[in-house]
Amino acid sequence: MMPRKFFLVCFTILGLCISAAAEEPQQKPFLHPLFTDNMVLQRDVKTPVWGWAAPNTKITVELDGKQVACQSGADGKWLAELPAHKAGGPFVLNVTGTDTVACKNVMLGDVWICSGQSNMEMGIRPCMDGDKEVADANYPDIRLFTVPKKIAFEPESVFYPTQPSQAKWLICSPETVGADGWGGFSGVGYFFGREIYKATKIPVGLIHTSWGGTIAEAWTSLEGLKTVPDFKDSLASFEEQVKSIKSGQFDFAKEMDAWWKSNDPGSKAGWEKADLDISDWKPMEGQPQNWENAGLPNFDGVVWLRKTVELTEAWANVEATLSLAMIDDIDTTFVNGTVVGGMDNWQARRIYKLPKGALKTGANVIAVRVLDTGGGGGFHGDPNTMTLTAEGQTAIPLTGTWQYKVAAPLADLKPAPRKLDGNPNQTTVLFNGMISPLLPFAVKGAIWYQGESNAGQPVVYRRLLPAMIQDWRNRFGVGDFPFLIVHLANFMDIQKTPIQDGWAQIRESQYLISRDVKNVGLASAIDIGDEKDIHPKNKQEVGRRLALIACARTYGQNVLCSGPVFKSMEVKGNEIILKFDNAGGGLMAKGDKLTGFAIAGEDRKFVYADARIAGDTVIVSSPDVAAPAMVYYGWANNPVCNLYNKEGLPAVPFRTNPE
């Protein structure tokens, strides 16, 4: 598991985040910044248009000969609703009141929100054949809007650009899709919009609002999260911290110290002490690398790591520098039992200055207390930045093997205080800063590529994401609009033995949400990931598969939009016969042999199985399982699985007997 924080390109890039504590400017714009030249308005529904003016001012809004009027309220807010209009354009949107604005080249079409974390944020240029894709991106009826990154403690009503391409609608062209940010406009968003446009010839508006490495609860409103009991404590903690920050009474260091002492067994027992008996600690090899790849798969919580270095007398009275690459998320670092530094930033290098006397002749113990709140944990980054150095001395590498001990899993911990300012991974802050300002813009639907950062709590996600979906639907006010999820791609090392849960469980949650929540679709990426790169480059296929769902379910086209989905099983002797929905033109294996199946009896001791296609079924067996009872398929972080329908769509990973 290596979700949200592995994305070194996109967590807190300087200049992209306006201070969360800053108040919105008092002077609100006459016309909301969503309404600009080149925009797309949603066809076939009433279209809200809004802004601010002096109280009790008459506002007139006109489009294509249809005119509506309204009056600003006591707070200056005004909102007019244009009548439903069929697709077409270009038009001019005229707004008249205390000011006069004419938005030119306006199209009526379908507007889709593109949201999530870094795989949604990843631009077109880093994608497969990215430069060519940018050069070919000449679609004047596709329009692009990028929401500026913003953390906010409370819902905001407007946003302000931090880059030239943001907070205004752009015509899709080679000059616009590849500009700014991490390789340009969202690759998944663009490829989805391109396929929709090709299939429908209807103008498409894409509103890109994502932030790499972020959790779904950050994208959900306070009211939405209150419907999920799992977030009761974290919401209370967040609200208390916001209140303390506003009153100037919040002392983060004091709060954090108290939290460690009440939650961490290592802090209570003095695991930082140089003379601690660590005979029961385990080795963690190959540092720096996240502990998920070094002996602690799927672990979030508190872990302590220690390393002893032998120093000559020359080190005893010098100033030194301790460099520990990067640490994911929060560290407190001790040398010989004394705190020398600590940070709360998973992508920042740890460089701690050691005063004279901090080191001694002989054995010196470096102890690091780490709290990981989701995704990758522990050391990561360039091995060359993991050293102990001092002027006149040969640098000592700190790579290789460290000793570690687990203190407490995240599930056993009370919510830790967090530095809210600049931290997008807090409840509600991205809804407040990056969704709320869009409301109540009329939209067609949303596409969502996220889940890596919530992989550590897949069952909670099963309740969280539906709450977020309903929250958005309530607020945009266009009914149960289509919400299309990208199933997490295969990633990390290929497992040699079956049933290592990891991302398999978060994928299961995504599937169950798509099955159980109205008008939610699932586009599998289980076969187009990258073992070594959490940002797979084939975003074209991701966009195509999302578009297939929209074409079939939203636009009523006769296309198959899903791979085979497990339907039922039957045990016959030493075999299990599996049946599937969405078999399309028939089941097929890509390759010489069907792979990806594991089988077990009631003891749940799984082994990889023999599998073969028989008509519209798959028959699974193993000579090691005489009385089979259950089957898993594609149940791994990076499964080797190759069941498809003849339309070329991969089977959705599943387990026949969920726990």
Q: Is residue 227 in a domain?
A: no
Residues 347 and 285 in one domain: yes
Residues 401 and 440 in one domain: no
Largest interatomic CA distance in the chain: 87
Distance CA 401, CA 87 (A): 62
Mean pLDDT lowest among 77-81, 149-153, 253-257: 253-257
For residue range 163-221, what is the model confidence (pLDDT) as tens digits? 766 789 999 999 999 987 789 999 999 999 999 999 999 999 999 999 998 999 999 99
Phi, psi of 476, deg, nearest 5: -75, -25
Q: What is the predicted pLDDT for the residue at 26?
A: 54
Distance CA 152, CA 436 (A): 10
Q: Is residue 282 in a domain?
A: yes
Determine whether 178 is exposed, middle or buried from the number of CB atoms within 10 Å of its CB (0-12, 13-18, 19+): buried
Among candidate residues 593, 621, 625, 624, the one with its CA nearest the CA of residue 609: 621
Mean pLDDT lowest among 104-113, 255-264, 439-448: 255-264
Q: How confident is residue 568, by pLDDT bands cut at 50, 70 and 90? A: very high
Residues 39 and 138 in one domain: yes
Q: What is the predicted pLDDT for the residue at 427?
A: 95
Q: Is residue 238 in a domain?
A: no
Residues 436 and 408 in one domain: no
For residue range 429-476, what is the model confidence (pLDDT) as tens digits? 999 999 999 999 999 999 999 999 998 889 999 999 999 999 999 999
What does the pLDDT average to over 619-624? 98
Final residue before a domain boundary, out of 520, 554, 588: 554
Residues 548 and 569 in one domain: no
What does the pLDDT average to over 14-30? 53
- Domain with 645 in it: what CATH number? 2.60.40
Q: Is the dihedral of CA 549, 554, 559, 565 positive or negative?
A: positive
Q: Which domain covers residue 529, as residue numbers?
A: 4-221+428-554
Looking at the predicted structure, is the pLDDT value of residue 13 above 70?
no
For residue range 376-422, what is the model confidence (pLDDT) as tens digits? 899 998 999 999 999 999 999 999 999 999 999 988 998 887 776 67
Q: Determine contact, residues 223/478, Cβ cutoff 8 Å.
A: no
Q: What percent of the chain has a predicted confidence (pLDDT) above 90?
A: 81
Q: What is the predicted pLDDT for the residue at 423?
A: 82
Q: What is the predicted pLDDT for the residue at 417?
A: 78
Q: What is the predicted pLDDT for the residue at 54?
A: 95
Beta pairing class for 100-116 and 204-210: parallel
Q: Is residue 470 in a domain?
A: yes
Q: What percent of the chain has a predicted confidence (pLDDT) above 70?
A: 95
For residue range 339-367, what is the model confidence (pLDDT) as tens digits? 999 988 877 899 999 999 999 999 999 99
How far CA 563 is from CA of 205, 514, 596, 642, 655, in Å, comes to 28, 14, 15, 11, 16
Residues 407 and 436 in one domain: no
Distance CA 88, CA 108 (A): 5
Q: How confident is residue 654, by pLDDT bands cut at 50, 70 and 90? A: very high
Final residue before a domain boundary, out of 554, 577, 609: 554
- Domain with 171 in it: what CATH number? 3.40.50.1110
Q: Could you give the angle at the alpha carbon of 215 between the alpha carbons of 213 and 219, nearest 5°?
A: 115
Q: Is residue 231 in a domain?
A: no
Distance CA 236, CA 219 (A): 17
Token representation of residue 419? 């530095």
Q: Is residue 357 in a domain?
A: yes
Residues 368 and 507 in one domain: no
Residues 123 and 71 in one domain: yes
| Strand spans (E) along 229-329 | 282-287, 301-311, 320-328
What does the pLDDT average to over 601-621? 96
Neighbours of 209 (CB within 10 A): 27
Name the CA radius of gyration of the chain, rounded. 27
Among candidate residues 614, 606, 524, 603, the one with its CA nearest the CA of residue 578: 614
Final residue before a domain boundary, out of 412, 438, 453: 412
Distance CA 533, CA 528 (A): 11
Residues 210 and 147 in one domain: yes
Residues 435 and 569 in one domain: no
Distance CA 376, CA 388 (A): 24
Neighbours of 182 (CB within 10 A): 18
What does the pLDDT average to over 600-614? 96
Q: Is residue 278 in a domain?
A: yes
Looking at the predicted structure, is the pLDDT value of residue 3 above 70?
no
Q: What does the mean pLDDT of the chain come to?
A: 92
Question: Could you give the number of structural domains in the chain?
Answer: 3
pTM of the model: 0.83
Q: Is residue 421 in a domain?
A: no
Residues 513 and 580 in one domain: no
Residues 586 and 541 in one domain: no
Q: What is the predicted pLDDT for the residue at 23?
A: 45
